[in-house]
Amino acid sequence: MSESAPFAGRWMLISDAAEIRTALFTDEGTLTYFINLGDRELVMRLQYRVEGSIIVTTQEGAIEEIRTKFTFPDRDTLVLEHSGEKFTFRRVLG
């Protein structure tokens, strides 16, 4: 099993905010992050790799790498911790 295997699939942020955030991870190391604001959608195309309990992302054309701690409390829950904030995602089926 590749390191990216637990991430592969579509994940939706659990949040009370009006915006909807979805992350689509592939086994090939790409991450597409969607932020739906109702009247428009922002799309970020990233590359990712796993280093222990850290996911490292880079955006095309950017030099800076973003490092985010992650945990999987269960198979269908992904918790990302960045800059002192925690974001809980649930796996979306289908």
**Spans of all domains in the chain:** 9-92
Superfamily of domain 9-92: Uncharacterised protein PF14869 family, DUF4488 (2.40.128.490)
Q: What is the pLDDT of residues 25-54, one digit of tens each?
A: 999 999 999 999 888 999 999 999 999 999
| pTM (2 d.p.) | 0.85
- In order of 8, 39, 73, 93, the CA distances from 66 in angstroms are 19, 28, 22, 27
Q: What is the pLDDT of residues 67-92, one digit of tens each?
A: 999 999 999 999 999 999 999 999 99
DSSP 63-88: ---EEEEEEEEETTEEEEEETTEEEE
Q: Using an 8 Å Cβ cutoff, are 55 and 68 in contact?
A: yes
